[in-house]
Amino acid sequence: MNIIQAQNPFFEKYSTPHGTIPFDKIKNEHYEPAIREGINRHDAEIEAIINNPAAPTFANTIAAYEKSGRLLNHVSTVFGNLLSAETNDDMQELAKTIMPLLSEHSNNVTLNEKLFARIKTVYQQKEQLNLTGEQTKLLEDIYNSFIRSGANLEGEDKEKYRALTTELSLLTLQFGENNLKETNDYKLVLTDKAQLAGLPQSIIDAAAETAQEKGVEGWVFTLQAPSYGPFMMYADNRDLRRQLYMAYNTKCSHNDATDNLEIVKKLANTRLSLAQLMGYSNFAEYNLKERMAENSDAVYKLLNQLLDAYTPTAKQEYAEVEALARRMQDNDFTVMPWDWSYYSHKLKDQKFQIDDEMLRPYLELSRVKEGVFGLATRLYGITFKENTDIPVYHKDVNAYDVFDKDGKFLAVLYTDFHPREGKRSGAWMTSYKDQWIDEATGENSRPHVSIVMNFTKPTKEKPALLTFSELETFLHEFGHSLHGMFANSTYESLSGTNVYWDFVELPSQFMENFATEKEFLHTFARHYQTGELIPDELVQRIIDSSNFNVAYACLRQLSFGLLDMAWYTRTTPFDGDVKEFEKKAWAKAQILPTVEEACMSTQFSHIFAGGYSAGYYSYKWAEVLDADAFSLFKQKGIFNSEVAASFRENILSKGGTEHPMVLYKRFRGQEPTIDALLIRNGIRK
């Protein structure tokens, strides 16, 4: 081992609890050498598979390939995760070197003709091999992933494939960087107290602290969710609401250094070129081949079914909000997008006497955490114990040992709750180490998972008090983490959340159902000052108001799904006006008036820089599944241990070892329909 390797923590066996990542020892200069060494080791492992003189078998080719590249996978996982959760200028610069390296290496592997020939030989013999179900699934997945990554391409087409994938990795990186920079750079500075009219004191206090942090006088509002959302909901000053709305909804479309308009076109066209190179008419058809939906017809069928079911109610909801606004303003008043949160909140308050500020005192973060962890204990018998010996990557992060109902170690869970400059917006679950079983020793190597969010921060006077939607977000990401923590597969690539993209949101959205269940809320929702349990009548108001503007919210999600599909069902390259294309794409799902300058595509990371290209419909697809699944809990009891055990056994622990519909039917006894969702949302009685 040379000196650089000797000083690089990635090359040592970790002496941390459970072999967790020694974040305290990792420096930016460690990543590139570790990535390059990881590539070298993976190349050597691939060579060993290719040069094996024995005939290709499942063990010496498929299982060997599955186990290869561990160091590379590990280092790139740490780097990629921190690029989202705790980045800095140096890391972003480093990413411009590392991402193309990874893309080139990935292509070198999947376009390796000798390796593919061995994989193909095993695949062609699969009927005679007497494989287990999981082995068959692994073999099929690996074979298909090679086919989908250009293994069957010849000569010049292989080089085209390399060029396209390299370009994609750089474009997605640039798209995300621009988005983060515009989000971080914007601040609305207010110095006149009158401009704060309507805002709750907790939001004013947080804005004062932000101003202090940024070294300016007065109050600062940002495009981060805990600042932007409440401002749009409560600020009486319409001009300021419009100003903040326009800042948010024109992100990366200002014809400057962080503009994403051209990048959007390039991303859409590069994905189209890739799909057509692979023999598909468009990117959606290529991508949906590995989804439950299978093709764009099935996606459009779902989107249109929901559009038909929800549009009449959504129009009524808009009319009701506008009627209230006109009573408060004048008869010619039009509710614009920057008015929607403000007036719909007023209407909700009028109808149900409930708002986020009323609920916040009962949703103190540490109690919410106890409630969410306690829910998992009640359903599955698992327990959580903070372990301060586990290194973390930021002082806001906590690490927990998770134990199964029999007391055995199950997983490590990291929690990272608050916004900061090095963290992208939104919320997500990720994994630092997936689960697998060592076939030689039988040892079950347990996962290390993380949930990352951007919740309201504590202030000097108050602890972190969450909004109700932040409670739902917590439950959502925690549902993903359960999918990771319960993983029990032989093979890492089939483990945990490594499932079809339109199935991955089922465990997360399923957990959100508990947010409106009185029995659950009563386990933790106590006033942070008095300790008083949330009053029954307030819980009832939460339940009564849970479907408030639900149809509008559904159409908003459908509009994103339609926009996504419009970009990726194109069969010819795009060189038009991005904003015009967007307006046309989602027109039938728009309820609010259109704003000419606004542009979603330039900041829509999910479909341009994330994994949801031709996949945003997955949220609604999974919502159909989660409503259908939770209806069984409602029928048998929301904490029913038998139903929970079945959900764990058939859905959460199985990962991608079988087709998701097979798993779902094994749990539910039937295929899902949209009926349970329509009933839950009050669209159908």
- 632 and 645 Cβ atoms separated by less than 8 Å: no
| Tens digits of residue pLDDT in 652-674 | 999 999 999 999 999 999 999 89
Assign domain 360-533 to a CATH class.
mainly alpha
Distances (CA, A) of 190 to 76, 168, 217, 227, 239: 42, 40, 8, 13, 13
Burial per residue of 552-583, b for 16 or more beta-carbon CB atoms within 10 angstroms, e otherwise:
bebbbbbbbbbbbbbbbbbeeebeeebbebbb
Mean pLDDT for 259-281 is 98
| Tens digits of residue pLDDT in 512-558 | 999 999 999 999 999 999 999 999 999 999 999 999 999 999 999 99
**Domain 3-152: which topology?**
Neurolysin; domain 3 (1.10.1370)
Q: Is 496 exposed, middle or buried (0-12, 13-18, 19+ CB in 10 A)?
A: buried
Same fold, 3-152 and 360-533: yes
Q: What is the pLDDT of residue 425?
A: 86
Mean pLDDT for 603-628 is 94
Q: Sheet containing 428-433: which strands, arranged edge to edge?
A: 383-386, 397-403, 409-416, 448-452, 428-433
Q: What is the pLDDT of residue 1?
A: 46
Position 181, amino acid: K
| Tens digits of residue pLDDT in 422-464 | 998 889 999 999 999 999 999 999 999 999 999 989 988 899 9
| Tens digits of residue pLDDT in 189-228 | 999 999 999 999 999 999 999 999 999 999 999 999 999 9
- 515 and 497 Cβ atoms separated by less than 8 Å: no
3-class SS of residue 436: strand
Distances (CA, A) of 283 to 107, 287, 502: 19, 6, 16
Q: Which residue among 177, 477, 517, 582 is the active-site one?
A: 477
C-alpha–C-alpha distance, residues 133 and 125, integer Å: 15
C-alpha–C-alpha distance, residues 491 and 439, integer Å: 9
Q: Is 44 exposed, middle or buried (0-12, 13-18, 19+ CB in 10 A)?
A: exposed
Going from N- to C-terminal start, the domains of the chain cover 3-152, 186-249, 360-533
| Tens digits of residue pLDDT in 123-157 | 999 999 999 999 999 999 999 999 999 999 999 99
| Tens digits of residue pLDDT in 69-85 | 999 999 999 999 999 99
- 417 and 222 Cβ atoms separated by less than 8 Å: no
C-alpha–C-alpha distance, residues 100 and 35, integer Å: 12
Mean pLDDT for 567-586 is 98
Question: Per-residue confidence at 6, pLDDT binned at 50, 70, 90?
Answer: low
Q: What is the pLDDT of residue 579?
A: 97
Other beta carbons within 10 angstroms of residue 53's beta carbon come to 4
C-alpha–C-alpha distance, residues 594 and 579, integer Å: 11
Provide the strand spans (E) within 435-528. 436-437, 444-445, 448-452
C-alpha–C-alpha distance, residues 311 and 303, integer Å: 12
| Tens digits of residue pLDDT in 626-646 | 999 999 999 999 999 999 999
C-alpha–C-alpha distance, residues 414 and 393, integer Å: 10
Other beta carbons within 10 angstroms of residue 683's beta carbon come to 18
For residue 526, give the DSSP letter.
Answer: B
C-alpha–C-alpha distance, residues 600 and 583, integer Å: 10
- 551 and 309 Cβ atoms separated by less than 8 Å: no
C-alpha–C-alpha distance, residues 197 and 484, integer Å: 45
Pairing of strands 188-190, 428-433: unpaired
C-alpha–C-alpha distance, residues 476 and 469, integer Å: 10
Query: For residue 350, is pLDDT > 70?
Result: yes
Provide, rounded to the nearest whole percent, the portion of the chain with pLDDT above 70. Answer: 99
C-alpha–C-alpha distance, residues 97 and 83, integer Å: 13
- 398 and 373 Cβ atoms separated by less than 8 Å: no
- 49 and 64 Cβ atoms separated by less than 8 Å: yes
Does 477 participate in catalysis according to the annotation? yes
Question: Per-residue confidence at 5, pLDDT binned at 50, 70, 90?
Answer: low
